[in-house]
Amino acid sequence: MIKFLNTKIVLASILATSIFAGCVVNQDVNKAEVKSNKTKVVELLQSMENGDKKPASYINKNKYIQHNLGIKDGLEGFGEVLAMLPKGSIKARVLRAFQDGPFVFTHTDYNFFGPKVGFDIFRFENGKIVEHWDNLQEKIAKTVSGRTQLDGATKITDLDKTEANKTLVKNFIDDILFGKNPNKITEYISTENYHQHNTAIKDGLSGLGNAIKYLVSKNDMFTYEKVHKILGEGNFVLSTSEVQWHGKAHSFYDLFRIENGKIVEHWDTIEEIPSQDKWQNTNGKF
């Protein structure tokens, strides 16, 4: 009888330990789930600089679709590129990070084969990164507006206006950049306050107008062909577009800040799309 009771006590102890261990595991899982996709992306980008190995686990190693055309598909392709860089040369300072459904997009100050400004977009499935797009541009020391390519507002507000702001940007692109209703420009861009971070355009609505007039006079105006994504969080909206310029295909990433129903600030990166024979993957830029 005593032996039987001892056996029951041991079994009960094992069961209790198992339940407790299960609770600990579940607590750890829940902690991992609490970490937002936005946080995961920021940690991943920062890991390129600080060498932290843990954020690599945020990527689905069995499914990682790469749209940077200079990098081979999958984790192996990205590893090859990192191995080519001089040790300690990578810098990645994330200045803005946003989340829209399964997408996280960031605005980053890079040193990646030289100083660059970059937008990155990551798509998540089941808490793991499965796809990546980016657009990089050389960092310019002097801009005509006196602003840098990266400074300006960072605070996310008006979360309840996300969809309205995305619609505003979509209509702005259709009417103004596609040229359907160019006279409606003041319906989209503030006439009182418009901060410009494009290196070649001055502040204000007049700065944008003068830049467009100059390009037209030189027969060098860009042509928007297709908008691939419009993503937003609150008062910030990012568009990714396929554009023809100088007779070549380009990728334009435009980040807009909206205030009281008008665009009041703009950042961008412009990247020439290489010819297909130079692509390191077959996924396309967009």
- Which residue blocks in the chain are alpha helix, DSSP H? 2-34, 37-50, 74-84, 162-172, 204-217
Contact of 136 with 110, CB cutoff 8 Å: yes
Cα 190 to Cα 193: distance, rounded to the nearest angstrom: 6
State the amino acid at position 126 in one-letter form.
Answer: N
- Percent of all residues in the chain with a pLDDT value above 90, rounded to a whole number: 78
* The predicted structure's pLDDT at residue 159: 98
From residue 2, alpha-carbon distances to 7, 15, 194 in Å are 9, 20, 84
Kindly report the pTM of this predicted structure.
0.87
88 or 114, which is more confident? 114
- Residue-wise pLDDT tens digits, 67-86: 999 999 998 898 898 888 88
